[in-house]
C-alpha cells in the first residue's frame, strides 16, 4: 500500500504527558498525516486510531499516567485492538515487566521484560545502524539510543523486528503493539512511522470488513 493512500485516513495520537511527543507529531505532520492529536486526557483516546507513547522519563510518565487516570483507558484502548507504539521510555511503560521502575507496575501490553537504562552510563547515548527487514526501502536505519532500556526477554508471541549486535532485540511487535528502544522520531527518516501508519491503516480496514 502506498504512503499516499494510508496517510489521510489514519488518526494518530501521541501521549503528551511528558517527553518528546512534539518530535513525533512534527514528523507525522511532515509525512502528510492529516490528524495528529496530542493525547492529554483519557477521553482524547476516543478520537484516534493508533497511539504513540514517546520517549522521555518513564518515572515521571508513570506518575502522570496514574495522576491523570490513564491506566484503565490505555488498557481498554489496547483491548480494542487499536495499535500502540512505545518508543524508549514508552517501551518501558507498555512492557510486561520493567526493572528499575518499582513499585510501579507497567501496563503489560506486550510480553517483554525490560531494564531501564540497560546500556549503562558509559553508553548513555549511542547510534547504531540497524537492519529492519520490514522497512521500505530496505536500507539500514539509524538507531538513536538515549539512555535506552534493554529488552531482557521476549515472550513466544513476540516478533523481533530488529536486533542490535548478536542477540539484543531493539524493535519488537506483538499483534498490534510495537516497541522500539531507540528514537525513530529524531532521525528525519520516516520509514518506521510509515510502518506504524500501515499497521493502523490495516487495522482500520480489518474493522471495516468485520462490520
Distance CA 57, CA 34 (A): 28
Q: Catalytic residue at 33?
A: no
**CA-closest candidate to residue 83, choices 208, 169, 197:** 197
Distance CA 26, CA 36 (A): 9
- Residue 67 Cβ, how far from ligand GLN at the closest point, in Å? 17
Catalytic residue, candidates 183, 193, 198, 210: 183
- Residue 55 Cβ, how far from ligand GLN at the closest point, in Å? 3
- Residue 207 Cβ, how far from ligand GLN at the closest point, in Å? 31
Do residues 44 and 75 lie in contact, with contact meaning Cβ atoms separated by under 8 Å? no
Residue 186, CA distances (Å) to 24, 28, 79 in order: 8, 12, 29
Chain residues binding ligand GLN by CB under 6 A are 55-58, 88-89, 92, 116-117, 146-147
Q: Return the number of the residue (150 or 201) whose C-beta is nearest ligand GLN.
A: 150
Q: Catalytic residue at 88?
A: yes
Q: Return the number of the residue (56 or 169) whose C-beta is nearest ligand GLN.
A: 56
Catalytic residue, candidates 23, 33, 78, 88: 88
Q: How many other C-beta atoms lie within 10 A of the C-beta of residue 72?
A: 10
Task: Write out the catalytic residue numbers.
Answer: 88, 183, 185
Amino acid at each position: 500500500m502506498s504512503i499516499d493512500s494510508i496517510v489521510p485516513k489514519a488518526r494518530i495520537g501521541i501521549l503528551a504527558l511528558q517527553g518528546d511527543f512534539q518530535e513525533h507529531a512534527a514528523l507525522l505532520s511532515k509525512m502528510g498525516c492529516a490528524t495528529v492529536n496530542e493525547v492529554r486526557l483519557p477521553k482524547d483516546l476516543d478520537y484516534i486510531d493508533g497511539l504513540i507513547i514517546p520517549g522521555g522519563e518513564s518515572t515521571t510518565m508513570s506518575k502522570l499516567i496514574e495522576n491523570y487516570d490513564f491506566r484503565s483507558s490505555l488498557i481498554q484502548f489496547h483491548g480494542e485492538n487499536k495499535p500502540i507504539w512505545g518508543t524508549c521510555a514508552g517501551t518501558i511503560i507498555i512492557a510486561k515487566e520493567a526493572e528499575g521502575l518499582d513499585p510501579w507496575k507497567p501496563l503489560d501490553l506486550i510480553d517483554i521484560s525490560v531494564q531501564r537504562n540497560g546500556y549503562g552510563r558509559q553508553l548513555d547515548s549511542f547510534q547504531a545502524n540497524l537492519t529492519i527487514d520490514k522497512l521500505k526501502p530496505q536500507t539500514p536505519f539509524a538507531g538513536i539510543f538515549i539512555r535506552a532500556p534493554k529488552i531482557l526477554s521476549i515472550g513466544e508471541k513476540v516478533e523481533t523486528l530488529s536486533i542490535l549486535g548478536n542477540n539484543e532485540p531493539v524493535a519488537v511487535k506483538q499483534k498490534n503493539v510495537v516497541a522500539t528502544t531507540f528514537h525513530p522520531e529524531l532521525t528525519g527518516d520516516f520509514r518506521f512511522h510509515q510502518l506504524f501508519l500501515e499497521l493502523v491503516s490495516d487495522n482500520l480496514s480489518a474493522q471495516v470488513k468485520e462490520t
